[in-house]
Amino acid sequence: MTQQGLGPGVSAKVRESLGSPPKIDTPFGVMEFFDGVPTAATVELGYDALALLRGIDVYLNCVPGASMLAMRNGLRSIGARSNVIACTDPRSTSAPVVLTANTETTYGTTFLDLKGDGPTVVEAPPNSLCFVDDLWQRYVADMGNAGPDRGQGGKYLFLPPDHQGDVPDGYFVFQSPTYSNWLVIRALLGLDSLLTTRIYPLAAAADPPTTGFVDMAESSFNGIHSNDFTFFEELNTIVQEEPVGALDPERTGQLAAIGIVKGHSFAPDDHQRAILDQAAKIGAGLARTLLYKPRDRAPYIYDDGSWKTAFVGGSHEFLADGARLLDCRTMMHYVATGITPAMTHAAVGVGSQYAYTAEDATGAPLDGARTYTLTLPAGIPAKTFWAIDIYDTQTRSLLQTDNPYPSINNRFTDVHTEDNGDTILTFGPTPPAQPNANWLQTLSGKSWFPILRLYGPLEPWFDQTWRLGEIQPT
């Protein structure tokens, strides 16, 4: 007769690998077991650990939704509604606290309300770049140059997730999985073109109400999600508003594991609240690590440089070989907003390309108390224009200094060029002594990071015959 649990071919070594030792040292404390059964203290420790891990997972995977809700709250605070568009007239200052806005282009943005308004019509302006994302920041539609109207202007009809019945002719039709949807309009022809945009319920198509506009360029409001317990309250708002099935089962299950369930109150006790607060702070720390110092070389533009791109993988759904690039999704949504397939199409002379870094040539974080230079070699490969904007590493919004437009660009600023054609930029807390310096103010006690934007990027950017210099401490 064989020993209990041991049969032919099952060795003691195999049995050991199948079981649990009496004690396991973990980052959460010591877990103790009696012949594989957890003690009462271990049960309590284990569920606390699981709540922390689930909370971190929720944070990393649900940043896109929290970001959308924060943006909607911010826009509503200045008067933007489903038929009132917030715009930059003609360009944004650093007053709005929103993720990586720029100071060079005219934008319009608002949130459609498909629950309150029902099927909604958007008349897109001509020669524009527009898109719509749902409340979990997933792609719904392109309009304008990248959309089916091909930049000629067209009428788009957006249907709510529960819409049934006939759909009228004469519209480009899209159905969203969520009621609330983010609309972004980049008006390439300027503010006058943007003001031709119309948004109204389909039910009022025979006599459309006037679309309103509110200038957000100098409005001080917050459009960025939190990094503490309130992050989860932001997510709960989305879950309660939107229909069951609006989010994929995996993330819905993660939310349910920490108590965020459609139709149920989210009211953790003080103990659970403290765990989730810690989970959000750890999650934010991990997101910052992925953003500012990615371990994988995929985000890096050059084999041996520090410049990176936030959009990695060539898929607007962050898919590669059947796998979701989770770290890339977190990195992208922690620093920026907006998803469209048009962002993945790298075409010479079309659209835009971006590069960012948060470190100098030695690999050290950029220090607002120090002075640095950055060389843009002659022949900057931008058909339309180029720009360098600088950002606050805490908020990832435009750095708020004495200059409300913390940018150097060849559209609105007088750029000094060296005799050899190079453009040298200086960053520091005080202006340099030399005249005509291309200087951007930084702040002592704060870090910062720049983003290079190339509008209408040219071939030397893609084949890397033109290379962006590293940021040099002086």
Domain of 440: which CATH number? 2.60.120.600
Q: In the predicted model, is pLDDT for residue 138 greater than 50?
A: yes
Given 215, 250, 277, which residue is the final one in a domain? 215
Q: Is 17 exposed, middle or buried (0-12, 13-18, 19+ CB in 10 A)?
A: exposed
48 three-class SS = helix
Residue 387, domain member (yes or no) = yes
Residue 201, domain member (yes or no) = yes
Cis peptide before 435 (omega within 30 of 0): no
Taking only the tens place, the pLDDT of each residue in 156-180 is 999 999 999 899 999 999 999 999 9
Q: In the predicted model, is pLDDT for residue 231 greater than 50?
A: yes
What does the alpha-carbon distance between residue 22 and residue 31 come to, in Å, rounded to a whole number? Answer: 8
Q: Look up residue 239 and give its two tokens.
A: 């879950």
- Is-contact 324 438, C-beta < 8 A? no
What does the alpha-carbon distance between residue 151 and residue 50 come to, in Å, rounded to a whole number? Answer: 50
Given 215, 233, 249, which residue is the final one in a domain? 215
Residue 244, domain member (yes or no) = no
Q: Look up residue 26 and give its two tokens.
A: 């973990």
Taking only the tens place, the pLDDT of each residue in 438-471 is 999 999 999 999 999 999 999 999 999 999 999 9
Residue 56, domain member (yes or no) = no
The per-residue pLDDT of the chain, averaged, comes to 95
What does the alpha-carbon distance between residue 210 and residue 224 come to, in Å, rounded to a whole number? Answer: 29
User: Cα Rg for the chain, rounded, in angstroms?
Assistant: 25
Domain of 191: which CATH number? 2.60.40.1610
Q: Identify the pLDDT of residue 409.
A: 97
Taking only the tens place, the pLDDT of each residue in 283-303 is 999 999 999 999 988 999 999
Q: Identify the pLDDT of residue 414.
A: 95
Q: Identify the pLDDT of residue 9.
A: 72
Q: In the predicted model, is pLDDT for residue 189 greater than 90?
A: no
The letter for the amino acid at 209 is: P
Residue 292, domain member (yes or no) = no
Q: How far is CA 72 from the centre of its chain?
A: 14
Residue 49, domain member (yes or no) = no
Given 178, 198, 215, which residue is the final one in a domain? 215
Instruction: Give the residue-averaged pLDDT of 323-339.
Output: 96
Residue 332, domain member (yes or no) = no
Domain count of the chain?
Answer: 2
Q: Identify the pLDDT of residue 10.
A: 82
Instruction: Give the residue-averaged pLDDT of 219-229.
Output: 98
Q: In the predicted model, is pLDDT for residue 1 greater than 60?
A: no
What does the alpha-carbon distance between residue 416 and residue 205 come to, in Å, rounded to a whole number? Answer: 52
Taking only the tens place, the pLDDT of each residue in 262-283 is 999 999 999 999 999 999 999 9
Q: Which domain holds residue 93?
A: 79-215
Partners of residue 139 on adjacent β-strands: 133
Taking only the tens place, the pLDDT of each residue in 378-417 is 999 999 999 999 999 999 999 999 999 999 999 999 999 9
Residue 177, domain member (yes or no) = yes
Closest listed residue to residue 360, CA positions, set 473, 439, 272: 473
Q: Identify the pLDDT of residue 97.
A: 98
What does the alpha-carbon distance between residue 384 and residue 456 come to, in Å, rounded to a whole number? Answer: 5
Q: In the predicted model, is pLDDT for residue 200 greater than 70?
A: yes
